[in-house]
């Protein structure tokens, strides 16, 4: 037997009104809770939005790389990837030798920048550091036939918008010598 209360709302006479009211109330509360949870999630900052993650953004772009005399050394494309959590470098030398790629990211747990570089010569370079005197300076060790070699790469944003990259190497206990110096221009 049906009891018509409203032409659009039919209730079985055997269903107590309080049970239906409780189901409607539970549905409304669930929808309200869901909306509140969504609002809280959207209020959280993006995972890599802290200012430290932007410290290396001056290197982003499509670059022509020359030596100090203007001779073309190659092209480099630096892209922001993974929602701004990392930078990807794609190096294409003018000579065609030693094509390389690096991934760079800020490690918030250790509060350091990290780069892993791999190139066509088989070189694996892992370096770490951060901003020092207005430049990004990353350092690490490689192993050569004569033992460990210290590596230091410094990127400096110049007043004219170019970026200077200075890569220096030194045997353990020895002095740094320039391995590569390039000037990036867009």
Distinct helix (H) and strand (E) counts, the chain: 1, 12
pLDDT of the residue at 117? 97
Q: How is residue 98 written in tokens?
A: 């030693």
Q: How far apart are CA 80 and CA 89, in angstroms?
A: 9
64 alpha carbon, distance to own chain's centre: 22
pLDDT of the residue at 11? 46
The answer to whether 132 and 56 have CB atoms below 8 angstroms apart is: no
pLDDT of the residue at 7? 47
Return per-residue pLDDT of the chain as tens, 186 residues.
444 444 444 444 555 555 655 655 555 545 555 555 555 556 778 899 999 999 999 999 999 999 999 999 999 999 999 999 999 999 999 998 889 999 999 999 999 999 999 999 999 999 999 999 999 999 999 998 889 999 999 999 999 999 999 999 999 889 999 999 999 999
Q: How is residue 164 written in tokens?
A: 């200077």
E-assigned strand segments in the chain: 2-6, 9-12, 61-66, 72-81, 86-93, 100-107, 112-119, 124-132, 135-144, 147-157, 163-171, 177-185
Query: Could you tell me which residues come within 8 angstroms of residue 12 by beta carbon, excluding any fewer than 6 positions away?
Result: 2, 3
CA distances from 3 to 7, 15, 16, 18, 19 (A): 10, 10, 12, 16, 16
Q: What is the pTM of this model?
A: 0.76
pLDDT of the residue at 32? 55
pLDDT of the residue at 18? 59
Residue matched to tokens 């032409």: 7
pLDDT of the residue at 146? 83
């Amino acid at each position: 037997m049906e009891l018509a209360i409203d032409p659009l709302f039919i209730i079985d006479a055997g269903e107590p009104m309080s049970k239906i009211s409780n189901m409607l109330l539970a549905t409304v509360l669930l929808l309200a809770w869901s909306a509140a949870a969504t609002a809280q999630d959207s209020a959280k900052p993006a995972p890599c939005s802290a200012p430290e993650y932007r410290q290396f953004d001056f290197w982003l772009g499509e670059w022509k790389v020359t030596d100090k005399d203007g001779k073309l050394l190659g092209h480099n494309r630096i892209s922001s990837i993974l929602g701004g959590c990392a930078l990807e470098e794609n190096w294409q030398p003018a000579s065609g030798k030693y094509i390389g790629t690096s991934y760079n990211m800020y490690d918030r747990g250790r509060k350091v920048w990290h780069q892993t570089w791999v190139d066509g010569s088989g070189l694996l370079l892992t370096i770490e550091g951060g901003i020092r005197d207005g430049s990004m300076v990353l350092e690490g060790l490689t192993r050569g036939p004569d033992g460990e070699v210290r590596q230091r790469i410094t990127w400096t944003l110049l007043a004219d918008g170019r970026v200077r990259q200075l890569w220096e190497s030194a045997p353990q206990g020895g002095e740094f010598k320039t391995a590569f110096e390039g000037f990036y221009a867009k």
